[in-house]
Structure 1
Amino acid sequence: MRRLLLILTLIFLSFGTYAQEEALRIGDILTVSLPGEAALSKDFQIDRKGRVTLPEVGALVLSGKTPAEAEKLVRERLGKAFRDLDRLTVVLKERRLLVSVLGYVKTPGPVELPGDATVQMAINTAGGLSQGAQLDRVQVRRGKQTLNFDYKKYLDSGDTSLLPDLQPLDTVFVPASPLTGNVQIEFDGRTLAAAGDGAEERTAIKVFGEVNTPAIFAYKPGVTAVDMLMRAGGVTRYAAVEQIRIINQGKPILFNLQNYLDTGDKAQLPDVQPGATLFVPKQMEEIRRGASTVYVMGEVAKPGAFDGKPGATFIDVLANAGGPTRFADTRQIRVLRADGKVEMVDLPRYTENPTAAPLPPVRPGDAIFVPEKMDTNEPSWLKIAPGRAVQVLGAVYKPGRFEWSDEMTFFDLIAQAGGPTARADVSHVQIIKSDAERAKPTLFDLGAFLDKGGDLASVPKIRAGTIIMVPELPQDPSDNKAQWTRQASDRSIHIMGQVGAPGRYAFSENFSFMDILSAANGPTSGADLRNIRISHRDDIKGAARVTKLDFTRYLETGDGTLLPRVKPGDVIFVPERNGDWLDQSKENTVRVLGAVGKAGRYRFSDDMSLLDLLAEAGGPASDAYQEKILVVNLGCCQEQARIFDLVNFAKTGDVTKLPVVRPGDTVYVPTIAQSDWKIFMDGVRDTVSVLSIFALIGGAL
């Protein structure tokens, strides 16, 4: 253990002796030790002004002094504040460099480095180089002195002798490449490298024209024209390689690259001098025309002129042109013959059935034109010729003009128009076909076909120029009566009278009488359901007939045969129940006279009784003589009168005592004041002649 301590002591003394010989520099770190004084026993760094600031004594300039001289100076200055300085020591602990890194680095500014640090370490401490830094002109500035060096060459070779040594307070400056311009933008190294590395040097070589990456490149001795073309990414497919221009020191040279590549003669390869210019012109294509030339134009990948060899087909020529693009309308390809004729080619149809749509032969001088696909959503309808268009109007979601093809059907066209709307009258679709100068409209019941099916031959055949009109159902007449005009009268049902919403309603063959009555919101409370009238429009010579309907009987029995069948053009009338009595014939009514609530004529049926009539007339009045109600029967064979005792009937309830009432009869209820009749009537038989009764009535009145 003692031997190890002895060895360490010798190493420390030898290092101290070595350090005593070197002068202190800015950035060095000193260790000051004075036992018993914690404020002095620590490390102090020499700042950028060469000073060390100690407690109690302030700043001391130690830069340029040896460690022994520094210790002596510190001892002298501390002696004014401290008495016992025998154990004071000042030792150089570490060499450090304080330099600045500026320019095109990521974090420019002052940096602190180890004492033996290099320029590369200084740049890395500053974050590294930024994209666009010019590496061949890096500078180290030391006071008024500037040291330039090629940092790129050092990176290529690794020769550290190419880098200058750093000293305290040096400034490493990295300039920006002139190619970055005057505006700071973000870019990658590949973009900057594509602009070349020649910057603004007079010896740089300029390469432009039909090359892939035109740029300015630094000149290197022995470089050739092919070398420079390769650095520029090579020539493009449009380059005129036989006409390359090279300007060497103001003298133009014509270089035929194609001839050089064919022969390999190095004598044809010109040297490139510093500051030379290389220009690759664009090849000017001549108009190609020959006895076997076929032209392909329009929406193909490679339009142009092609030599048509014998036996070449339409597909061969189109394939050599790269085939149709995704914008091509392959259904409308045109073959323009040399004699001026035009032939249409439907390529998709050929692919589906080659025998049904064979491709035309292609002969020399012909031109194949592939048009652009039409966008039917564009406002310009002129892109579709009238001879290829079909118009869809009315109640569809997308009415307009649509391009037509013979393999399409009526349903394809309706689907293309978005289908019928919710208010479309699909039962009366109108189809107008033009024939020369005359139009022929036809009707098609699309709704019935969709519901029940049918023969596909019954579906109308559509051709270019056809107009399809899908009518719209009228609005609710209670909301907007002006909409009635949209529905033709011969396709409507009229319902009037005592219904909730009288008016004209669209009719379908599937509708029944109940459907129409329900559409009109049904009968009102004052409707006379026993005498509904239906006026039918006869198809023969426009004649009409009327059907009477007792709707109450249908409601009682549920017999559907009682309901009449209605057709378009019919009229349904629901009369008022308490209508004018003059509207009723005397053969269908019964007269109720005398002391009743409401005397008058009342409609009578076989299922009614005298009690029903009295109730209909409001019942006997308070002064009615109810024991002698007179019923006068006017039958076909016999006229007679009978007396009815309502009070006795109310006590017994014997319905057999009710007199029979028939249409045309008269019921008379006398008053109490007329009870003198009782004396007279007691002596009269129950049955008397009609003429005698009328005489008695006349005498009483």
Structure 2
Amino acid sequence: FDYKRWLDSGDARGLPALRPLDEIFVPASPMTGNVEVPFDARSLAAGDAAEDRASVRVFGEVNQAGTFAWRDGMTVMDAIMRAGGVTRYAGTEQIRLIAGAEPRVFNLKRFLDTGDAALNAPLAQGTTIFVPVQTEEVRQGPRVAYVMGEVARPGAFEIRADTGFFDLLANAGGPTRFAETRQLRIIRADGRTVVAFDLGGFVEGAGGRPPQIAPGDAVFVPEKTQGSEQASWLRTPPGRAVRVLGAVRAAGRFEWSDEMSLIDLIAQAGGPNERGDLTNVQVLPGDAGGRATSFNLQRFLTEGGRIAALPRIRAGYTVNVPEQPVTPNDSRATWLRQSTERSIYLMGSVGKPGRYAFEDRLSFLDVLAAADGPITSADILNIRVTHRGEARDRVTRLNLAQYFETGDESLLPRIRPGDVIYVPDRSRSWLEIPANQVVRVLGSVGKPGRYQWHDGMSLLDLLAEAGGPTAQALQDRILVVNLSCCTQQARGFDLPAFARSGDFRQVPVVRAGDTVYVPSSSQSDWRIFFDNLRDVVSVVSILALLKAL
């Protein structure tokens, strides 16, 4: 049952029929009053009218609703007074009278202001009077003046003939701290005349007289401004503002409402500029001791997500959008602003070693390319990646040449912020290379020494790297000393025989840590015999010469 529709229309056909033992439930509603009255069965019989006599019903925002006896000449005011008068919550300008099917509105306030007896007309038998709760509505009347703008309590105020300008302004709570008191305006009731008043100058003793106020006038107190467009930043107190700093187009303080989000706030600040780093937006709580949190807004905008996943912003918070470096390693002048948690360290034989900004979506190749890649002398077979920040630090070895040959992405290590990438140089000191990673080449070769070894090489590759056997080398007696778990084994290799047959089964297996020895012809048995014979002949010749003398 729509009770309000019946009050508005007076159509009795909308009233439901009731029977004994029926139950009526009236839900709470601000339209029917906001005064809680304990239920009392005796109050159902309030009033002085018998059921069989003509009566007037009064209910709503009155002190004692009920059914009252009707008498000839009874007015609305009489009925309301019989009901104990209206409460302080009554909407006195919208009292409804329902007589038959003709509802009308009685303006109690206007009647009290004007005393017009025509407004307080007599009531007919069976009239229903409803006094609604007061709601927000436009106040007007013959003795009302208005105060607007930067005052504590703007609104409409009733004035008397002796009410002055300061009386009206004081009733409105006076100007706020944001008011521009030197530019007050009084708009006369005719709507065409505007009077300026310098309140600040008057208070400072500049002279003049305050303006006269008449019913219908409006006093406007403007807001302070900075320049011609920007409102004073004092307009928003700290308890209702959020600060936006860093690489945005219009950093500043913005008024905050809890239904807004981080995206709304950055949009209000003009959005990030061309160097804004949305991957590390920082949110600092306003309360003392709060810890700043970081949020990857770039990933949220790229991959999507729920608005609930955005950081929660409250009035008093500070949001900082950091600035990206001009180049990925532009950290020499700004390295203090780049946190360790967002850095990767590149060292060794790369184009631009240093500390680089990093985020999770970047890969090993992205970081290496940002450093201009390995230089010509880099040893890409033995790149090292130190993973920090885990339960225990570990080192990953990477053969980048093998990745380039196979394209196997599983060979590339997964890196995280804080990791260290080291690219060694091929010309590093032999002391820096562990013995279990090299093969030693000795004897009659072009360049004897220690050579780095990997599993894809063979003895032939190693000899070629060492400059090959010399002219004095005994190529048919090359020795390979293999290291095994328990004993050392040596195998011979006949290079000329292999050259004639091409049988790779004759080539000994070489492993890291082995030694290859290429003997010289000066170390053969016949060479030793002839050298000794030459020495004997030389001694005999000398003795014969001495005997002749």
Counterpart Cα distance in 2 of 1:407 and 1:374: 27
What pairs up with 1:32-71 in 2 under 5 angstroms? none
Counterpart Cα distance in 2 of 1:678 and 1:657: 28
Q: Does the aligned pair in 2 maintain the 1:532–1:551 contact within 8 Å? A: yes
State the match for 1:696 in structure 2.
none
Note the aligned Cα RMSD (angstroms).
4.1
Q: Does the aligned pair in 1 maintain the 2:349–2:378 contact within 8 Å? A: yes
State the match for 2:412 in structure 1.
563
Question: Is residue 354 of structure 2 the alignment partner of residue 503 of structure 1?
Answer: yes
Alpha-carbon offset, residue 526 of structure 1: 1.7
Q: Does the aligned pair in 2 maintain the 1:329–1:374 contact within 8 Å? A: no
Between structure 1 and structure 2, the one with the greater Rg is: 1
Question: Is residue 138 of structure 2 the alignment partner of residue 316 of structure 1?
Answer: yes
| Per-residue CA distance 1:578-635 (angstroms, 9 max, x = gap) | 3222223323321101122221112223332111111121222343332332222333
Q: Does the aligned pair in 1 maintain the 2:439–2:516 contact within 8 Å? A: yes
State the match for 2:345 in structure 1.
494
Counterpart Cα distance in 1 of 2:371 and 2:353: 6
Counterpart Cα distance in 2 of 1:499 and 1:651: 44
Question: Is residue 241 of structure 2 the alignment partner of residue 389 of structure 1?
Answer: yes
Q: Does the aligned pair in 2 maintain the 1:493–1:568 contact within 8 Å? A: yes
Q: Which of 428, 436, 442 is equivalent to 2:293?
A: 442
Q: Does the aligned pair in 2 maintain the 1:589–1:663 contact within 8 Å? A: yes
What pairs up with 1:99-498 in 2 under 5 angstroms? 316-317=138-139, 334=154, 371-372=222-223, 378=230, 381-435=233-287, 437-476=288-327, 481-498=332-349
Q: Secondary structure in 1 aligned to 2:316? A: coil
Alpha-carbon offset, residue 440 of structure 1: 4.2
State the match for 1:624 in structure 2.
473
AA aligned to 1:608 is M
Counterpart Cα distance in 2 of 1:643 and 1:568: 51
Q: Does the aligned pair in 1 maintain the 2:226–2:232 contact within 8 Å? A: no
Alpha-carbon offset, residue 309 of structure 1: 6.4
Counterpart Cα distance in 1 of 2:403 and 2:140: 77
Counterpart Cα distance in 2 of 1:322 and 1:646: 117
Q: Does the aligned pair in 2 maintain the 1:473–1:486 contact within 8 Å? A: no
| Compared CA separation, residues 602 and 385, structure 1 to 2 (3 A) | same
Q: Does the aligned pair in 2 maintain the 1:396–1:470 contact within 8 Å? A: yes
Alpha-carbon offset, residue 419 of structure 1: 0.7
Q: Which of 444, 449, 466 is equivalent to 1:600?
A: 449
| Per-residue CA distance 1:142-196 (angstroms, 9 max, x = gap) | xxxxxxxxxxxxxxxxxxxxxxxxxxxxxxxxxxxxxxxxxxxxxxxxxxxxxxx
Ranges of 4+ aligned residues in structure 1 off by more than 4 Å: 308-315, 317-325, 332-344, 367-371, 373-377, 477-480, 677-680
Alpha-carbon offset, residue 336 of structure 1: 9.7
Q: Secondary structure in 2 aligned to 1:522? A: coil
Counterpart Cα distance in 2 of 1:580 and 1:372: 76
Q: Does the aligned pair in 2 maintain the 1:500–1:520 contact within 8 Å? A: yes
| Compared CA separation, residues 329 and 422, structure 1 to 2 (3 A) | farther
State the match for 1:92 in structure 2.
none
Counterpart Cα distance in 2 of 1:448 and 1:654: 59
Q: Does the aligned pair in 2 maintain the 1:334–1:343 contact within 8 Å? A: no
Q: Does the aligned pair in 2 maintain the 1:472–1:486 contact within 8 Å? A: no
AA aligned to 1:427 is T
State the match for 1:521 in structure 2.
372
Counterpart Cα distance in 1 of 2:140 and 2:410: 72
What pairs up with 1:505-654 in 2 under 5 angstroms? 505-540=356-391, 543-654=392-503
Counterpart Cα distance in 2 of 1:634 and 1:677: 32
| Per-residue CA distance 1:338-366 (angstroms, 9 max, x = gap) | 8787999xxxxxxxxxxxxxxxxxxx9xx
Q: Does the aligned pair in 1 maintain the 2:344–2:355 contact within 8 Å? A: yes
Counterpart Cα distance in 2 of 1:641 and 1:514: 43
Counterpart Cα distance in 1 of 2:294 and 2:225: 31
Counterpart Cα distance in 2 of 1:319 and 1:594: 119
| Per-residue CA distance 1:245-293 (angstroms, 9 max, x = gap) | xxxxxxxxxxxxxxxxxxxxxxxxxxxxxxxxxxxxxxxxxxxxxxxxx
Counterpart Cα distance in 2 of 1:554 and 1:309: 95
Counting matched residue pairs gives 348
Greater relative contact order (Cα 8 A, min sep 6): structure 1 or 2?
Answer: 2
Alpha-carbon offset, residue 414 of structure 1: 0.7
Counterpart Cα distance in 2 of 1:318 and 1:569: 70
Counterpart Cα distance in 2 of 1:453 and 1:421: 21
| Compared CA separation, residues 493 and 479, structure 1 to 2 (3 A) | closer
